[in-house]
């Protein structure tokens, strides 16, 4: 039981340390709805474009979280990011 509790605490700690895509976008000054999903996809395919937005500095986990957020809330998505949210 003690081992199970330790694992649960570790998982909670890892989740708290993980950065979500929205907070990464805010830190980088990016708005998901400023581009369509195909445009965001192109940004993540080219190193030059990632450098333009500062995405190249992120580790692979944060980069994936950011890409997922930007694609999910892109201008052409079912749930585009609203201003001020």
Q: What is the pLDDT of residues 12-65, one digit of tens each?
A: 444 444 579 999 999 999 999 999 999 999 999 999 999 999 999 999 999 999
Query: 3-class DSSP state for residue 36?
Result: coil
pLDDT grade for 83, boundaries at 50, 70 and 90: low
Phi and psi at residue 60, in whole multiples of 5°?
-65, -35
pTM to 2 decimal places: 0.74
Look up the domain containing 74 and give its range: 20-85
Residue 1 lies in a domain: no
Residue 47 located in a structural domain: yes
Whether 6 maps to a domain, the answer reads no
Give the separation between CA 25 and CA 31, rounded to whole angstroms. Answer: 7
Domain count along the chain: 1
Q: Which two tokens stand for residue 2?
A: 């003690």
């Amino acid at each position: 039981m003690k081992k199970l509790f330790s694992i649960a605490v570790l998982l909670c700690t890892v989740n708290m340390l993980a950065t979500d895509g929205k907070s990464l976008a805010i830190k980088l000054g990016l708005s998901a709805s400023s581009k369509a999903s195909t445009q965001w996809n192109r940004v993540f395919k080219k190193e030059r474009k990632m450098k333009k937005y500062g995405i190249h500095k992120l580790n692979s986990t944060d980069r994936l979280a950011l890409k997922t957020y930007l694609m999910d809330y892109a201008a052409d998505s079912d749930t585009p990011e609203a201003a001020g949210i």
